[in-house]
Structure 1
Amino acid sequence: LDTGMNSDVVENVVDGFSVIDNSTNYSDVLGHGTSVGYIIYNISPSSEIIAVKVINDAGAGYESDILAGLDYCYDQNVSIISLSIGAGTSSGYCDENPVAEKVNELADSGILVIAGAGNDGSGSVKVPACARNALAVGASTKSDELASFSSFNNATLLVAP
């Protein structure tokens, strides 16, 4: 779930949907979703990606669209959901947030939900990474140090360059 994806860049996109306008036009004007998809492709070239656009072309995202995107993924019977998006901050777990509740529900059903901790360089992480059952990911440097811009707290489980 992200800004969409350009399937001419990421070769293993097998399907896609935009909850923004309820269409199959999941093209990525901003490039963030495509960049994340390219990383996923390089890590797992045999994976099949379903691109779900939940952030509009102006860079705005709404809780209702994220929830709809998560429901779409569930309906597609996915194994893993990547959420390199976030809003708000939490110094601990945020399980009372509606998106975090949905992430926990999906994780309880056996779906691995990976969420970016954020890029604020603070001791708090973004929703949905602060959901108790999300695999929260922060950023590290090439020398395996925590990146200065990476958000990180007790909810962060993994850091990678």
Structure 2
Amino acid sequence: MMLQNEQIRRKRALMSAKKSINQLTYIKLIDFEKSDSKWIDLFRGALSDFRKIDSSPKFQKPVGDDKSSYLVWIKSSLDFLKGKENYFIPVPNGISPVWANVKILDFEKAIEELWDSSPTNEFAIADKSTGQIAQVYSEEKYYEIHIKDIYKETY
């Protein structure tokens, strides 16, 4: 019975995630990552490290600017990820965490969509081929961008 409930929960989460991704114009679903994936464990660990009290962002910008200023800053800060087609993201606004392999049709417009799709203007994006992950979020008085290469140390 518990397995069946878990399967139902997972199915609902996937349906919600698919609906969220389908609302995005510049991000297309390739497939959902299995919940027991080593990639999820690796990248989720990095996300957890970013939220630690003593973590240091690679970039930060004071809260209070306009949207276009933040987007220019984020896009230039994430330039190292540009040029790929396939990425790995936690799907925004799902009913429970779901990670997806996605194809990005236009990097800059996709970054803007990820920013806009979150009520708190936060998102994460990763590249499995390089092991790089970045997370953008607001922390007190600053927007922060944390970056980590799971194959190396944070740079």
Compare CA radii of gyration and give the structure with the larger one.
Answer: 2
Higher helix share: 2
Q: Scaled by the length of structure 2, what TM-score is found?
A: 0.31
Higher strand share: 2
Q: Scaled by the length of structure 1, what TM-score is found?
A: 0.30
